[in-house]
Amino acid sequence: MTHTFDPAVRDFLTGRIWLRLHTPFPTETIDAHISSKHIKTIPGITSTKARHFCNRCENDNPSRFTTFNCAKCQGPCTYCRHCLKMGRVSSCTELISWNGEPPTYATDHSLAWQGTLTPRQQQASDELTNSTAKGTPHLIYAVCGSGKTEILFQPIHKLLLEGKRVCLAAPRVDVILELEPRLRAAFPQTAIEALYGGAESTTAAPQLILATTHQLYRFRHAFDAIFVDEADAFPYTADETLQRAVRKAAKPSAPIHFVTATPSDKLLADIKRSGQVSTINRRYHGHPLPVPRYSTLWNYTKHIQKGILPKKLITWTTQCLTQQKPFLIFFHTIALMEAAEPLFQQLDTRIHAVHAAHPDRKEHVQALRDHKIPGLLTTTILERGITIPNVQVAVVGAEQLIFNKGALIQIGGRVGRSVHYPTGDFVLFHHGITYAMDAAKNDIIQLNKGEIRI
Amino acid sequence: MNECLLCQQAIASTPSWQALLGLEKQTNICPDCSKKFQRADNKEESDILDRITSLYSYNEAMREYLHQFKFLQDIRLAEVFADELRTSLIGDAIIVPIPMHPEKKIQRTFAHVDELLTSARIPYMHLLEKLDTVAMGEKSKAQRLAMKPLFAVKKGTTILPSTYILVDDIYTTGTTLCHAATVLKEAGATRVEAITLIRAER
C-alpha cells in the first residue's frame, strides 16, 4: 500500500458511499486510489435467491427492483428504483467509499450566536449535551416557537470543538433552507455544507452537514452525532428506508437525537426505552400558543369548484389585507387550492398558491417574507419550519384526514412566533369537527397550562 | 395494490367484477400522473415518409418521463405507454425500430426504442444499423440537414417491396426518420411510415 493520495478525494469520499462513475474526479484518479486500496469498492446490488438489497439506500422491497437484460454486463442485471433519482445503482454498478485514514477535522470553531437561552432552553441544551457525551439518543420535545434550533447550538459547538463530524437532518427541504443561513451565521468558521435535491455539491471537507434525510442515502458511518429536526414530518415516519438511512449515516456508536414539537407515540415510546427526553412547553417569549378557533364553512368544495369564494373566506382575507398582516391559507389538495387561487386573486392579484412541486415555491415564500406579497395559499408543505412575523393562519377544510393532530399543531405553530407579535389568528374553517381537531385544541390548551404528555 | 411507476404512490383500485375476472386493464401509472401527458395524435407526411403518426406532445411531464427513462436509465418506464403503442402498431406492416449505435447501447445498458416495443408485445426486426454515435439533440437544424447518411441496411438482410413502419421515441425535425426512410426506400420498400411516441417542436 502506497501512502500517496489526493487529499481532495479523501475529503470528499470520507463517510460517503458514491457511484464510482459519478465522482467530481477523473476516472484515472479514482482508479489509482482503488489500486492503492485508499478507496474500496462495493457492489451496487447484493442479490441472493430470496431478495435483492441496494447497498446505497438499503432498500429491499422487491417491488422497487427491476431486473432486465443488460447490454453492458451482457446478462440479467437488477437495479434499485428506490434511489434512482440519485443515479442508477445496478448489479453491474460499483459503489465506492474511502478506505484510508479519515481527515482530521478542525477543532477551532466559534459560536457567533449572541442570544441568550431561557432557563428551560438552557436546561434542555445541557441535557442534550450530556446525552451526546454518553452516546444515548435524546428527544427534544418542545412546542412550536420555543427556540429549538438555538437549543442545538451548544451541543453542536461542543462536538465541533472535539473535531467531530455532525449532521443536522430534516425530512423536508424547506426546513433545511430555513436552517442553513442560521447555522452559517452561528458557526462562521466551520466548513458547512447544505445538501438537498438540486443543491450544488462541493469537494471541500464539510464538518457540519445540513441535509434532507434523503441525502443520507449517500452517507455511511460518517457522523459522530445526527440531529433529526422535525422528526415526525412526512416522509420520514412513513418511509422506513429513510430511518435506516439515518442510522447508516451515523457511526455505529453515534447517538441519533430527535427534535420535534409533535412527537409520534412510537417515537416517544422508542426514546423512553433507550434514551432521554427534554420537554419545553413555553415559547421562548413566554406567551401561550395560539388556541385554534372553529368556524363552519359548509360545502366549501362545491362553492369553490363553482367559482364562488365562500363569504367567510372573503371576510377573513380582506381583513388581513386591510390590516396589512401576512397570511397563510392551508388547503388539503392541490386541485382545490388551484381552483381557489384565481378567486383569491380577485381580492389581491399578488396572492399565489404554492405546493411541493411548484416551480416558484422558493421565490414565493421569500416574497412573503420580504412583504412583497400579502399572503400565500399552500398545501401542508409550509406546516413547519417557516417563520414569518405576524402571520395569520387559516385552514380550509380542517376536517380532512391529512390535517391530523400533529399537522394542526404544527400549522398553529406558525402563528405568534415573533416576540413583537406574540399573538395572531389561527382559524380552522371546517365542514364538521373531527377528533383530530379537538385533540389538537386540547393538547394546545394543556401545553399552555404547563402540562406535557410524555 | 400496485404503485405508480412515476410517483410511487399507491394506485387506489376499487374492487370490481372485471378485476376479479382479470378483464380490467392493468394500470401502471396513477390517474394524476397519466393526466399530465397530453395526447397529440398528430399525423403528418413528407416527401419520403408516407405518414408520420405521433401519439403525445412534448410537455413538462413528457420531458421528465424521457429524462427518467433514457438518462436515469429507468428501463421499467418502457411499460408506461405500452398499451397506447400496441393499439397504434397492430397490423401487418414490418416494424423497424430506429437503431442505436452499439457503443451507445452499452453506455445506456439498453436500447430504449426496442424496450418500448418489447413492453408493448410488438414483434420487430432490426433492419438498419446506425453509422455514427452522435446524438441528434446536440445538433442544430442546419447541421442535421447537411449530414452524411446516418443509417445503412444491415448486411445480409433484404428489403421487400412492401410497407415498413419505423418507430422512434421522439420526432423533432424529422432528420432521423427521413434518413432511415430514404435508406429503406432505396433498398426497395414501397411504403414507409413512422410512429413516434412524442412530437416535439423545435
Question: φ and ψ at A52, to 5 degrees?
Answer: -105, 155
In contact, B39 and B161? CB cutoff 8 Å: no
Nearest Cα of chain A lies from the Cα of B106 at a distance, in angstroms, of 5
Residue with grid cell 447501447, as numbered in its chain: B105
ipTM of the assembly? 0.88
Q: Closest by alpha carbon to A94, among A16, A7, A17?
A: A17
Answer whether B162 touches A (CB < 8 Å): no
pTM of the model: 0.83
Nearest Cα of chain B lies from the Cα of A410 at a distance, in angstroms, of 24
In contact, A376 and A353? CB cutoff 8 Å: yes
Q: Which residues of A fall within a CB distance of 8 Å from B76?
A: 66, 81
* A81·B74 Cβ contact <8 A: yes
Sheet-wide strand order for A138-142: A192-195, A208-212, A166-170, A225-229, A256-260, A138-142, A276-280
Quick one: A367 exposed, middle or buried, by C-beta within 10 A (0-12, 13-18, 19+)? middle
Answer whether A72 touches B (CB < 8 Å): yes
* B109·A72 Cβ contact <8 A: yes
CATH number of A119-280, picked from 3.40.50.2000, 3.40.462.10, 3.40.50.300, 3.40.190.10: 3.40.50.300
Pairing of strands A293-296, A426-430: parallel
Answer whether B109 touches A (CB < 8 Å): yes
Domain with CATH 3.40.50.300 in chain A: 119-280, 293-448
- Partner residue facing A88 (CB), from B72, B105, B111: B72
* B106·A72 Cβ contact <8 A: yes
One pLDDT digit (tens) per residue for chain A, 454 residues: 456 889 999 999 999 999 999 888 999 999 999 999 999 999 999 999 889 999 999 999 999 999 999 999 999 999 999 999 999 999 999 999 999 899 999 999 999 998 899 999 999 999 999 999 999 999 999 988 888 889 999 999 999 999 999 999 999 888 888 899 999 999 999 999 999 987 776 667 899 999 999 999 999 999 999 999 988 887 888 888 899 999 999 999 999 999 998 888 888 888 989 889 999 988 888 899 999 999 999 999 999 999 999 999 999 999 999 999 999 999 999 999 999 999 999 999 999 999 988 888 888 988 998 999 999 999 988 888 788 899 999 999 999 999 999 999 999 999 999 889 999 999 999 999 999 999 999 999 998 987 776 6
Q: Which residues of A fall within a CB distance of 8 Å from B75?
A: 66, 68, 79
Please give the Cα distance from A359 to A60 (Å, whole number).
32
Q: Which residues of B fall within a CB distance of 8 Å from A79?
A: 73, 75
Cα end-to-end span (Å), chain B: 40
Please give the Cα distance from A130 to A134 (Å, whole number).
6
User: Which residues, at least 6 apart from A388, have a Cβ–Cβ distance to it below 8 Å?
Assistant: A326, A328, A368, A369, A414
Q: What is the CB-side half-sphere exposure of residue A413 using CA atoms within 13 A?
A: 30
For A293-448, which CATH class?
A: alpha beta
